[in-house]
Amino acid sequence: MSRWAPDARLRLVRAALELCTDQGYDTTTVAEIADRAGLTKTTFFRYFPDKREVLFAGQGEHARILAEAVAAAPADATPIGAVAAAVSALAACFTDRNREFGRMLVALIDANDELKERAAYKHSCLAAATATALEERDVPPATAGLAAELGIRAFHEAFTRWIEPGTELSLVALTKASLKRLRTAAALLDTPHAG
């Protein structure tokens, strides 16, 4: 096995997604993932604490992109404007590989409660990172929390559409549309509905 593997992290993610898709998440082992990636278990554990974390490898990087984009938004941006810039920045980083991996990951999450929990936690971590960056711009905590939640929700909704076969719009365009839809929805919170 290769001792020098500059793309080890990516190979481990791909191996984990493919193996879990083929044979199920519960039965897949770290040894099998390392083996499929052409790496050792020791190398695996240099990158990830367990097989579950491989599947959520992007979380730290995504949180960083969101926080940096919020910080870089114009000084006169509204909270939701800063969040719109942040989720657009995140969406712009996603490639065809993210789309391919995303399809596998979403199917795995849908089939497994442990992964559903982890996905819910990822959502709350990304929202918290975004909210913290907003608070550093002196947005009051409650507003920061809601703006961040709206942004992550919009991104998630857009991502779910983006990975559907046949979707032609870019993830950036879909994210903008989702955020707009959510802002319209927020305006209806106090409107009686036909029942």
Q: Distance (Å, rounded) from C-alpha 163 to C-alpha 144?
A: 29
Q: Does residue 140 bind a second copy (CB under 8 A)? A: yes
Taking CB under 8 A as the binding criterion, the range among 14-22, 35-43, 98-106, 147-155 that sits at the site for a second copy is 147-155
CA distance between the termini of the chain: 64
Asked if 147 interacts with a second copy (CB under 8 A), we say: yes
Residue among 123, 161, 170, 177 that touches a second copy (CB under 8 A): 123
Interface pattern 45-84 for a second copy (x via CB under 8 A): ------------------------------xxxxxxx---
- For the CB of residue 89, give the shortest distance to a second copy in the complex, in Å: 19
Residue 123: which of 156, 90, 167, 86 has the closest Cα? 156
Residue 130 near residue 163, CB atoms below 8 Å: no
Q: How far is the CB of 4 from a second copy (least distance, A)?
A: 32
Specify the residue for token string 């006169």. 76
Q: How far apart are CA 119 and CA 167, in angstroms?
A: 23
Distance set, CA 125 to CA 31, 64, 133 (Å) = 29, 11, 12
Tokens of 163: 């990975």
- Encoded one letter per residue, x for contact with a second copy by CB under 8 A and - for no contact, window 166-185 reads ---------------xxxxx
Binding site for a second copy (CB under 8 A): 75-81, 116-118, 120-121, 123-124, 137-140, 142-143, 145-147, 149-150, 153, 181-186, 188-195
